Structure 1
Amino acid sequence: MNKSLCAVDSVIELQQAERERLEQYFRVETVDFKQLEGDVLAKYELALVHSKLTAAAISTMDACRYIGVRAHNTDYVDQAAAQQQGILVQGIDQMGVQAVAEHTISLLLAIAKQLLPYHTNVASGRWREGLRPSYELKGKTLGIIGYGKIGERVATLGHALGMNIVIASGNKDHAEQAGRLPLEDVLAQADIVTLHASTRTLTGPLLTKTMINLLKPQAIVINTARGGLMDYAALEDALRQGKLYGAGLDVFPEEPVTESRLSQLPNVICTPHLAYYTDETIRLMNQQLIQRAIDYLSSQSPSLTPN
């Protein structure tokens, strides 16, 4: 069998067994999709990515007919450009539900319990000097925006910590029927707001400056979903003015982040879009990414057998 040439994004670190399975069906080359030059992608018939693919890069992919994205949301890839090139773009099932939910609660606990300031004091020899009391979560109201699998798991963990849960409705007209509240009501009631919504149908931030101003004084905001869900400049203003207790951010409007004024604030914790990044989740994501590439190849060559 004359195997198709498959480019694997260098950020996708395959285990030996995973690479061997892929090599049963493809000739595999590792490519740094963050450092593309010229028409380096022109020869590849398939690409498996976890980095952004711009329209300019896709326009050079003359031989490519399939792009597998190691993510549920395929917004890493310029869809219009791929369609114009006749390339099928396929993501994977939503995975990492437990990982992201745990990360969400970890950020919340780290902020509520003042872990970074407390650690910094001890590390610098200042012991308890200048520290403020931490924050108990029992009895507080946790507002969840986006109630899919991750939002549901966060609610379960929140209940276990003794928090009251309020859920924002995605549709104002059906808020009461669904037992949920309009977004504005959730923001006004919640002591902690956590974002788990999609940006697919949004034309701008869900939490605008006006919405952020509805938050309770000393509220905590957590975003482990998408940076585009919130006006980060308005969030920074609210934090600097002392209107919020703190924020935990795993995602940003532009990534990767090399400079961030938000990350310099003492009541903000930032992580590099790795809420999903556990051994267990990565293994499952790689397995499905590989299997879907094999399934695509099989659909094009029904009599295909590995070698």
Structure 2
Amino acid sequence: MNVTPKRYCLLDSAIVLSKEAQARLNEGYNVEVFSPYNPKEEQLRNCDAMLLHSRLSRESLLKLSKCKYIGIRAHNTDYIDRQLAEEMGITVKGIPQVSQVSVAEHTFALIFAVTKQLKSSHNSIIAGNWRGELKPNYELSGKKLGVIGYGQIGRQVGSIGRALGMEVLIAGKTGEEKDGEMPLLQVIGESDILTLHLSNKDNKVFFDKEKINLMKPNAILINTSRGSLLDYESLKESLLAGRLFGAGLDVFPEEPLTDISLCELANVICSPHTAFYTEETLSAMGESLIRNLEIFYQS
């Protein structure tokens, strides 16, 4: 009896599946865990499918001579050069947005950490200074929360903000503002706290030095969306100059982060791209990732 050999699937080492999802994947595929940052050439040349949650270089992508499918464990698919992949005959598929609750909660974790100066307060106690030279904290009620990117996550963030008594300002696309939305530059200029929730398909800096300089003095900037959206050097300059109250950052242009100088500032709170990283979200993401792969090869 002829037995059809299993397809060879590369699984990004950054992806941890539930036991059930891993069992489903192993049942249908010969699975090998790999590092997208340092893949072996034979892995790339021999794989039929790839499940990814890290950036894959153009050089590595070009070596996928057999691969027909790349599943991205994210709503955004900018982990690879998607146009090149599709020119090579590779189908690229992301998963539905399932992390809106976890990312919105994490966004406010960063907001609370910055506004209540938890980092400086903690360090002050450890240093034996008690309240020391801490300036007064920042109340959220009555403040203006600017949301740039009003998709599922942005709407969840807005809902939490309103529950806290904040006025939520929604930035619309320039020249295409809908009811309830405001021009982007107006939102930037009026907000006490700005939070970014945009995708970034072309990986270009959106929130640049010019926009940072438009922010209110003593405002706060939060980024839990894409590291490539934000000009981090200009943000650092503004923080060092004392223009902004602080920043909360979960994503960075380079991950893992090597230059930690921005994170070392007393008024900056950083997390290692963990806004989505909850048991509930990981389970839902893994389920969607495997289901998409199964559907591709069944069709």
Please give the TM-score of this superposition, normalised by the length of structure 2.
0.95
C-alpha distance in 1 between matches for 2:253 and 2:10: 27
Match of 1:67 in 2: 70
> What is the identity, as a one-letter code, of the residue corresponding to 1:226?
R
Confirm or deny that 1:79 pairs with 2:88.
no
Deviations 1:56-83 (A, max 9, x none): 1122222211111111111111223322
Distance 1:50 1:188 in 2: 35
Per-residue deviation, 1:260: 2.5
Q: C-alpha offsets along residues 79-116 of structure 1, whole Å, 9 cap, x if unaligned?
A: 23322322111111112000000000110000000101
| Counterpart-to-counterpart distance in 2, 1:233 and 1:157 | 30
Deviation at 1:197, TM superposition (A): 1.5
| 1:183 alignment counterpart | 184
Residue 119 in structure 1 maps to residue 122 in structure 2 = yes
Mapped partners of 1:25, 1:224: distance in 2: 35
Residues 134-153 of structure 1 aligned to structure 2 (within 5 Å): 134-153=137-156
Unaligned residue ranges in structure 2 (runs of 5+): none
Instruction: Tell me whether 1:200 sits opposite 2:195 in the alignment.
Output: no
Match of 1:45 among 28, 34, 48: 48
Shift of 1:23: 2.0
CA contact (8 A) 2:9 2:51 kept: yes
Matched, 1:161 2:164: yes
Query: SS of the counterpart of 1:253?
Result: coil
Secondary structure, in 3 states, of the residue corresponding to 2:225?
coil
- SS at 1:93 equivalent: coil
Alignment of 1:237-252 (within 5 A): 237-252=237-252
Larger displacement relative to structure 2 (284-293 or 42-51)? 42-51
Which amino acid is 1:178 matched to?
A: D
Matched, 1:222 2:225: no
Q: What CA distance in whole angstroms lies between the structure 1 residues aligned with 2:51 and 2:277? A: 18
- The secondary structure found in structure 2 opposite 1:243 is coil
Measured in 2, the distance between the counterparts of 1:284 and 1:119 equals 35
The answer for the alignment partner of 2:284 in structure 1 is: 284
RMSD value, Cα: 1.5
Q: After TM superposition, where is structure 1 displaced by more than 6 Å over at least 4 residues in a row? A: none
For structure 1, the residue ranges without an aligned partner over 5 or more in a row are 300-307
The number of aligned residues is 296
Letter in 2 for 1:197: L
What residue is the counterpart of 1:275 in the other structure?
275
Of residues 12, 17, 21, the one that matches 1:18 is 21
> Identity over the aligned pairs, expressed in percent?
44
> 1 CA distance for matches of 2:172 and 2:268?
27
Bigger mean CA deviation after superposition, 91-100 or 248-257: 248-257
Q: Which amino acid aligns with 2:188?
A: L
Matched, 1:29 2:26: no
What TM-score, normalized to structure 1? 0.92
Q: Is the 8 A contact 2:174 2:184 kept in 1?
A: no
Q: After superposition, what is the alpha-carbon deviation per residue over 1:196-254, rounded to whole angstroms, capped at 9, x for unaligned?
A: 1222267x432222221111110011011112222211111111110000000111122
Distance in structure 1 (CA, Å) of the matches to 2:169 and 2:87: 43
How far apart, CA to CA, are the structure 2 residues paired with 1:228 and 1:63?
A: 30
> Whole-Å Cα distance in 2 between the matches of residues 208 and 46 of structure 1?
37
List aligned pairs for 1:289-304, cutoff 5 A.
289-299=289-299
Q: Quote how far apart the aligned CAs of 1:266 are.
A: 0.4
Aligned to 2:44, the other structure's residue is in SS state coil
